[in-house]
Amino acid sequence: MNQYTIEGGTPLNGTIKASGNKNAALPCIAAALLTDEAVILRNIPEIEDVRVMFEVFRALGGTADPLGGRTWRLSADIKSCTVPEEAAEKIRASILFAGPLLARAGRAVMPPPGGDVIGRRRLDTHFLALTELGAQVDMRDSFVFTAGKLRGADVFLDEASVTATENAVMAAVLAEGDTVLSNAASEPHVQDLCKMLTAMGASIEGTGSNRLVIHGRNRLAGCDYTIGADYMEAGSFIGLAAATRSGLRIEGVLPEDMRPARVAFGKLGITWEHEGKTLCVPQYLPLKVNHDLGGMIPKIDDAPWPGFPPDLTSIATVVATQVEGAVLIHEKMFESRMFFVDMLIGMGGRIVLCDPHRAVVSGPARLHGAELRSPDVRAGMAMVIAALCAEGKSVISNVYQIERGYECLVERLSLLGANIKRE
């Protein structure tokens, strides 16, 4: 198993470009099943989750050919409706093939999806949405979805699930009649999918809101679509710059995607400037907690978009160990995500884990190198940040989890001056 060896304590410097949005690339790959014409997808990140999605796409009968420059040509001639179990176990995003397969072939066989172990991750909302559109679900072994002709419906999701919203939208674009999808997720990656589907000829109203109206079409065409930048990766690099006292420029970032992160990171004294699509983090930030009115301890908590992204709570927790003052980190959406703080405590972090969802972090703390293990994509990146600002050597194992979401991380960080090796 591969691992990272990191010597910390050295400020970084330079420019790094944000990769394409992982969470947009995955549903857009699945959406290419919705047409028999060629689909060109650009700015696709070179990460493990994308490789697995292409593996599934090919197993279903599609072709996925690299054109260079992170551009791929996809063509879908569906020959199978069964997602391979081995691939499904690797990533949760495998469930995203359910909607397109139902819409095109009327059947989808989905083994239970894998992915990050960050607590209970319901699939109920997927079943609710797809059954409202006319699908039947058999859950005795795998999840077997069947449908004659999907029909538009007035659907109210029981939670603003990103992947359930994406599945419902992909099913509805080829359904008969109109679909109203309320309490829909509206994250930038959901918007990317809706924009791609619109480029394919779908009729979708309300993109970017929590109420989508989809007018069903008989067929969709191919398209040429460019995935947006990964604002979660950009947020990770902001945290990296702050924790290591580094001056970094992050290219290719849309300012509007970073507004929720600006509010949360601002509570830790972290600011940045935008020069067009380049985000500039200064080296010498006043890393001091900004108290709430009356001198109260502030809270950084996650929420569905446009709230602070849950994927950045791990990053904020590490950064908070290097900031003067106390802050409450409240991870409301996943009950196991905060357990990684045990490793931070072992490195010298001053953290009280109040319960599975809340931790009080007091800083600044002098972290020291340690033997670490990546539990999931974002906590793994948080461990990399902690190791880079710690004194001495750290070894991080299970880096497969990190590389599922961060493209060529060792090479890119090395160019910034990080002492990091992959072994």
Q: Which residues are catalytic?
A: 116
| Structure letter (DSSP) for residue 166 | H
CB-CB neighbours of 278 under 10 Å: 15
Buried-exposed string 290-304: b where 16+ CB fall within 10 A, e elsewhere: eeeeeeeebebbbeb
CA nearest neighbour of 402 among 340, 355, 322, 321 = 340
| Token reading at 302 | 């996650």
Can you point out the beta strands (E) in 159-257?
178-182, 203-205, 211-215, 223-226, 247-251
Euclidean distance between CA atoms 407 and 322, whole angstroms: 26
First to last CA, the chain: 9
List Cβ neighbours of 405 (8 Å cut-off, separation of 6 or more).
22, 47, 49, 232, 233, 377, 378, 381
| Token reading at 250 | 């992050």
Euclidean distance between CA atoms 126 and 28, whole angstroms: 17
| Token reading at 8 | 């910390």
SS3 state of residue 48: helix
Structural contact between residues 197 and 33, judged by C-beta atoms closer than 8 angstroms: no
Q: Which residues pair with 182 in a beta bridge?
A: 156, 211
Q: Are strands 325-330 and 299-301 parallel, antiparallel or unpaired?
A: parallel
Taken as a whole, the chain contains a residue count of: 423
